[in-house]
Amino acid sequence: MMDFPNLIQLFATHPVARIATVPEYTELCRKHVENVQFRRQRDTVEVAKKAIEELLDGKPTCAAQVREALIKLQGLRGTDFDLYYDLIVAGYKPRWSPQQQTYFERIVPSIRTGQDFFLSFTTRGPTVGFKRINQRYWYFIRNVIGEPNIPTADRRTKNLLAEALYAKLLDASLRGFYYVVHENDNAIVEDKLTNGLRGSRVFVQLVENVMFEPPTGRPNYCDYEYRRAIEFISEEDRILFVVTEESPDDLVAAEGVYEPYRDWVQRIRAKALPYLPSTQEYNGQRLKQIQQKVADIVWLVKSARKSVLDRIPA
C-alpha cells in the first residue's frame, strides 16, 4: 500500500533518468524531505520503474511489451505485484491497442491468484443411499483417493468424482478453485464464485444430467458458474466439459430441458468431449479409459497456462 500514490504516477510517466527534472517530482521530494517513509517508498518505486524500463523500453512491438509485462508479473505474485502492475498500467498500457489492453486485463487476475482452473460440479442428487455419481465411478474414485480415506457418509453427501478430478489436477502441480460448500448466503456465495472464475485460466465443469433439472427454490450454481465463465473466458478451448455419461445418447437432449438451460446443453453437445464410461463394477479396460481421459483434461489445463503468452493480440 503506497502512502504517496503520486510517486507511481510521476515515475510511470517519466523516465527514471529524467525524473529529477520534473517540477512536480522535485516539489514532492522537497515537501517530504524529512519523511523517512517517503524516502523508502520513493526508492522502492524508482527501483521497480528502472526494472520495468529495462524490460519494456526498446521492445520492437507493443505485443512484445505486453508479453514481457505478463512474464514479469508472473514472477511477482505475493511480493511487489501491485506496484509493478500500477506502474505498467499508468506508464505503458495507454500505448497498447484496445485489444492488447483488454487481453492484459483479462489475464492479470489469474496471474495474481495463480489459479489455473475453476472446477465446477454439483452435489445434487438422491438423498437416500449413495450418490449416483459415486456409485457409477466408484473404482476410479477409489483408485485415486483410496478407499480408507473415504468415510461412508461422504459417499452419500459428496461428489467424490469431483474430488478425484481435483486431486489429479493438483498432482500435476496445477492450482485451482474448488468450492465444496455452497451452504451460505446466496450473495456471498455468488461473490466468491465470481471472484474464483475471474481469477482462473480454465473452466472445467463436471457434467451430470441432474444439473439441468428445473430450479426447486435453490440456486443452480452450476448454471451460474457456466454463465460467469463464458463472460470472463473468451477462448473456446478454455471452457472444458467432462460428461459423466457413456455417450452423447445418454446426455440429456437440449430440447428436453428447462428452457433457460438449452443453450448451455447445446454448447456442451457441440464440443468434442470426454464421456466417461462407468466403473461401478471393476473393469480394468474402462478404468484405463477414464484415467486417459482425465489425463487429457489435465494436459489441456496445463497447455492453457503455457499458451497465455502466445495469444497476445498483434
153 in the same domain as 226 = yes
Q: In which domain, by residue range, is 175 found? A: 115-310
> Is 182's pLDDT higher than 60?
no
Share of the chain above pLDDT 70, in %: 97
Spell out the residues 6+ positions from residue 296 whose beta carbon is closer than 8 angstroms to its own: 274
253 in the same domain as 152 = yes
Of the three residues 65, 96, 127, the one that is the final residue of a domain is 96
279 in the same domain as 228 = yes
Q: Residue 225 is which amino acid? A: E
280: confidence class by pLDDT, cuts 50, 70, 90: confident
C-alpha distances out from residue 156 to 53, 129, 168, 298, Å:
57, 6, 22, 27
pLDDT of 135 reads: 93
63 in the same domain as 151 = no
189 in the same domain as 294 = yes
153 in the same domain as 66 = no
Q: Does residue 31 lie in a domain region?
A: yes
Contact 98, 21 (CB under 8 A): no
294 in the same domain as 227 = yes
Instruction: Tell how far CA 300 is from the center of its chain.
Output: 13
Q: Does residue 45 lie in a domain region?
A: yes
69 in the same domain as 182 = no
Q: Give the separation between CA 77 and CA 73, rounded to whole angstroms.
A: 7
> Is 313's pLDDT higher than 90?
yes
160 sits in the region (left: phi over 0; alpha: psi -120 to 50; else beta) called alpha
Of the three residues 49, 67, 96, the one that is the final residue of a domain is 96
Q: Does residue 276 lie in a domain region?
A: yes
pLDDT of 4 reads: 87
pLDDT of 77 reads: 74
Q: Does residue 220 lie in a domain region?
A: yes
Q: Does residue 1 lie in a domain region?
A: no
Q: Does residue 105 lie in a domain region?
A: no
> Is 65's pLDDT higher than 90?
yes
249 in the same domain as 143 = yes
Output the domain CATH number for residue 196: 3.40.50.10140
Q: How many domains does the chain have?
A: 2
273 in the same domain as 157 = yes
C-alpha distances out from residue 304 to 21, 133, 217, 273, Å:
45, 28, 36, 17
pTM for this predicted structure: 0.88
Locate all alpha helices (DSSP H) within the chain, ordered by sequence.
6-13, 23-31, 36-56, 62-74, 81-91, 98-113, 132-136, 138-145, 152-157, 160-171, 186-198, 221-232, 262-270, 284-307
Residue with cell 451452504: 183
pLDDT of 296 reads: 96
Cell of 121: 460440479
Q: Does residue 104 lie in a domain region?
A: no
274 in the same domain as 184 = yes
Contact 203, 119 (CB under 8 A): no
Q: Does residue 155 lie in a domain region?
A: yes
117: confidence class by pLDDT, cuts 50, 70, 90: very high
Residue-wise pLDDT tens digits, 228-272: 999 998 888 899 999 999 899 999 999 999 999 999 999 999 998
pLDDT of 181 reads: 59
262 in the same domain as 148 = yes
Average pLDDT, the chain: 92
Residue-wise pLDDT tens digits, 71-116: 999 988 777 999 999 999 999 999 999 999 999 999 999 999 989 9
Q: Residue 206 is which amino acid? A: L
